A and B are shown apart, each in its own frame.
Chain A
Amino acid sequence: MFGLKADWSLEVFERYFTMGDYAGGEARWCPGCGDFAVLNTVHRVLHDAQLPPEKTVAVSGIGCSSRLPHYMGTYGFHGLHGRALPFANGVKSRRPDLDVWVATGDGDCFSIGAGHWIHAIRYNVDMVVLVFDNAIYGLTKKQTSPTSPTGLSTNTHPKGAPLPAMNPLTTTLGITNVSFVAQCVDWNPPHLYETIKKAHKHRGTSFVRIIQRCPVFSPDFCKPLQEDSSRMLLLTHEKGIPADDSVRRIFGEQREHDPGNWIEAMSIARDERKIPIGLLYHDPDAPVYDDLSSRGLEATNAEKIAAVNRAFDAFAI
């Protein structure tokens, strides 16, 4: 497959990977930061899938959350602010055998990288995109982000963020060829695990917005949700994110929602009175760019040379 040595890929099945194989350097986020929970969950999902660490690539931009690759035992690509998505698409472009994960922040993805966000959703390359949304610029110490709630006091807007917060769910749902949109919170491990697992299984760009605690710079973003879970709406469905009793008990407000129903997904996403938790939209059949970008991978040297010679013929005199 893909020009790789068969003996090498067969060997995979004889190895067993521990959680430690997926972990890298010691994570250094602030105490109470939601990023820890996501990192642990990613390790667990990879461990349960028993994917070889050397075949996994964690790609990120710049931000607190974008430190994630450094805490992985896999290959990693800690890129540039806003550019995680095109880097990740490039990694996957000619290496469909690699398992690609993206960690990006609300500033990284929705502000400086917003153009790439739209196009990455449209390319629909097979990868998991985890957006760590703490509604603030964490790394650079408390500047307004596109998702900062109106009135949130920041260092760039001490009197309060002036604009209405962006709604990343409706934006993503509105992009042609969107194939997977889910939302979850970092402080509910079972639901977080099921969400990331489902995202990982989907072939296409799985967009997961994680509402993430930043106790240092935007505590007021998550605290009201943690204190009053009725402000959230758990989406349930047999095709959605599995939610066991423990999860159902926490989220009192629930709604059956078929993730195949785009119009309903859009109306749920638009209703800002209740924050939806779960799988909003899933189209397993949306075309993936990998099928295009992996063209020609199997060409042999002889075929390559023959193709160039044919090209020469077109210009020969």
Chain B
Amino acid sequence: MTTKTTSGATETPKQRGAKIIKEHIVEVVSDSGEGAQKCGQTFGSVSGKMSNGVWTVEIIPAEIQPPARSPAGASGIRIRLASKRVTNMGDEADLVVAFNEQVLFSRVANGAYKKGTIVLLENKWSEDPQESIRQQYAAAVKEFAEHGLVVHEVPMEVECLKLVKDARKGKNMFVLGMLCHIYSRDLDKALAEIAATFARKGDKVIKANHDLFQSGYDYAASHIDYHWEIPAEQGDLGPTLVTNGNTAVGLGVMAAGMDLVSMYPITPATSATHYIADIFHEAGGFIHQAEDEIAAVAYAVGASFAGKTACTITSGPGMALKTEVLGLAVMAEIPLVVVDVQRGGPSTGLPTKVEQGDLLSTLYGMPGDAPKIIIAPATIEECFHFVILARKLAEAFRGPVFVLTDANLATGVQPWTRPVLSEDWLAAPIDQGAWDRNVPAYDWNETTGLSQRPIPGQRGGEYVLTGLSHTNRSKVAYDSDTNQTTCEHRSRKLAALAQTLNPPEIHGDEQGDLLVVGWGSTKGAIEEAVDLLRENGHRVSSIHPRFISPMEPGMQEIFSRFKKVMTVEINYSDKLGDPLITEETRRYAQLAGLLRAKTLVDVDCWSVVYGHPMQPGLIYSELEQRLRA
């Protein structure tokens, strides 16, 4: 439903003299509960519908209920908006709308802004009855100016109060109106989006929000000089979905025809099940919220033993608890999909922040030799498709498959191609036909280690699964030969899978001065930095393997074509030159260490654990330095 309104609705941006730009990064920040996120999401959706490249990411305060106007309490959203496809949240913002001055401090401290970042700041605090607030406001405006921010004080409250009694409710729509004018957004699309948002609340509420939106739009038209147009250059994207990576995982679980998600809540993984919680049964699945992570994964393994496709979704601390059961899944060869939405560690670490710190613990964090498949989606779209892939691999290779995403993919929101669903993606119904008694429960192929498994209900297939060392008939066996050969079989499954993989695609030239290797959510940022370096004449390329275990083939050969190889990762590594850090004492980033061991190439690394997604600008300056050295 759209409402035709008066001023400006039929003018095109060009008539109004909008300046054409390629991209901008916009933030809206407020105290929590003021609707900044809704405002930004709507702005993002409208832009997505206009076929712009968009990446949005929420700005989450460190505390659940921070006090109002608290410097650490910034709640809001960042929207990166471009003519072309956007793959990451970018560097410093170009324009920010702030509902109070205090919340800006944490963003400034985080390096979210640069000299010249435009701040549209609610100015009601300059006339606050409390003198201390008036003083804080005045001091902050001065300080921001000293930082080089370009502050414009905007009477948002005053304007909203012309339409509503309580400006706290609705100021976000006023701001949305301002932004839509500043960035020449399609007015009809914006109004329709608002109507859809409030559809359940009825026409009166829609009208009130439309009015607030319109007044913000008009205010910007007559009072704000900034006026840009970001033309979409992607062409028609075709059917498109807009989700974050966690929702993509949840949708992937459904599209894979999984029977069960068994989980225990943990940030930042939980929201993967939030959306599907209400609808999973319609797609034939069930979500079990267990009493803890051990029970969650045990329940999933039990279901999988009984032939049903199961998945568990968690984050670092949950992975730690699940370890023993996951070892059983490796040992007894039980298919299972495990999604680890990584956060900062060790221990409880940084629950809401980004880190790629679980690679080695996933690979090695089990007693004994526990070979397993690990894949890492690099985009939100891959978060969807890799769940389906993981289910198939788990069944074909009879064991757990780990999907490592992270808080960056989990919370980043981006348009991606709506998949055309296929029956092939759904799990096949379980076989309940008779099992040939002569075929053992683990009829390992000598070469590949692969075998078919009997499912309870199959007559003749009765066996007792055990985590103890066992023969092909699943009989407990402590003799040396059995243990040696069964370890070989389990390990060889990875070699069998590796045979089917292609070497990673090279982004950039096939040879050069520097090869950057990344994995997981950093792909967009790394490639953006690499592209810019190449435009500036540097001979740099990148690869981004999706299979970490087994490793994609051909690494050593690719490395040999570059003078230097390094990884860029979001996990901890020592830096040469730091106190006591020498070639001998230095600890490498996680993938770097693996690649060094695997290829015997002197792979360097650059990794940081600031808790942020990787930013292309940071990567750019780091790589540029090394290329110059």
A interface vs B, CB < 8 Å? 3-5, 8, 24-25, 52-55, 57-59, 69-70, 72-80, 83, 85-95, 97-98, 115-116, 118-119, 292-297, 299, 301, 303-305, 307-312, 314-317
Contacts and interface: CB of A to CB of B under 8 A. Distances in A.
Nearest to B428: A301
Contacts of A80: 298, 324-325, 328, 467
Given A76-B462, A97-B457, 8 more contacts: A4-B432, A83-B298, A86-B299, A87-B301, A118-B291, A293-B286, A310-B282, A315-B243
A91 B303 contact: yes
Given A83-B294, A308-B283, A90 B259 contact: no
Interface in B269-309: 275-276, 279-286, 288, 290-292, 294-296, 298-308
A73 B14 CA distance: 80
A98 to B, nearest CB: 6
B247 interface: yes
Contacts of A3: 429
Nearest to A119: B291
B461 A54 contact: yes
A308 B420 CA distance: 10
Given A78-B465, A317-B241, A311 B275 contact: yes
B306 A95 contact: yes
A97 B307 CA distance: 12
Interface stretch (B105-113, B156-164, B249-257): B249-257
Given A78-B466, A316-B240, A317-B242, A83 B325 contact: yes
B197 to A, nearest CB: 13
B457 A95 contact: yes
A312 B464 contact: no
Nearest to A98: B456
A220 to B, nearest CB: 31
A59 B464 CA distance: 9
B515 to A, nearest CB: 36
B254 A307 contact: yes
Contacts of B429: 3
Contact of A54 (B301, B328, B456): B456
B57 interface: no
Nearest to A297: B284
Nearest to A59: B302
A21 B349 CA distance: 53
Contacts of B465: 76-79
B262 interface: yes
Interface centre among A24, A87, A115 (most CB of B within 10 A): A87
- Determine the main DSSP class of B at the interface with A: mixed
Closest 7 CB pairs of A and B: A90-B302, A76-B464, A299-B284, A296-B281, A90-B299, A86-B298, A307-B282
B310 interface: yes
A303 B283 CA distance: 7
Interface centre among B254, B290, B303, B418 (most CB of A within 10 A): B303
Interface residues of B, number: 72
B496 to A, nearest CB: 26
Given A95-B307, A315-B243, A315-B247, A303 B282 contact: yes
Contacts of B398: none
A233 to B, nearest CB: 33
B142 interface: no
Nearest to B421: A305
Contacts of A72: 464
Interface in B344-371: none
A45 B257 CA distance: 37
Contacts of B295: 83, 85-86, 115-116, 119
Contacts of A24: 464
Interface in B420-477: 421, 423, 426, 429, 432-433, 456-468, 475-476
Nearest to A83: B298
Contact of A73 (B275, B282, B462): B462
Interface string B475-510: 110000000000000000000000000000000000
Contacts of A70: 464, 466, 476
A295 B296 CA distance: 18
B421 A315 contact: no
Nearest to A87: B302
Contacts of B303: 90-91, 93-95
B260 interface: yes
B239 interface: yes
B48 interface: yes
19 contacts: A8-B432, A54-B457, A59-B302, A77-B465, A78-B466, A79-B298, A85-B295, A90-B300, A92-B306, A94-B286, A95-B456, A98-B306, A292-B286, A293-B288, A299-B284, A308-B421, A310-B282, A311-B254, A315-B243
B302 A91 contact: yes
Contact of B288 (A93, A98, A314): A93
A95 B247 contact: no
A74 to B, nearest CB: 6
B49 interface: yes
Contacts of B456: 54-55, 57, 75, 91, 95, 98
Given A54-B456, A115-B291, A307 B279 contact: yes
Contacts of B240: 316-317
Given A25-B475, A307-B283, A309-B421, A53 B241 contact: no
Contacts of B314: none
B170 interface: no
A154 B68 CA distance: 59
A183 B49 CA distance: 66
B426 to A, nearest CB: 6
Contact of B260 (A52, A93, A301): A93
B283 A296 contact: yes
Contacts of B275: 311, 314
Interface string B218-249: 00000000000000000000011111000100
A316 B239 contact: yes
Contacts of A116: 291, 294-295
Contacts of B418: 312, 316
Contacts of B298: 79-80, 83, 86-87, 90
Contacts of A74: 462
A86 to B, nearest CB: 4
B251 to A, nearest CB: 6
B336 to A, nearest CB: 11
Given A80-B325, A115-B291, A5 B421 contact: no
A40 to B, nearest CB: 18
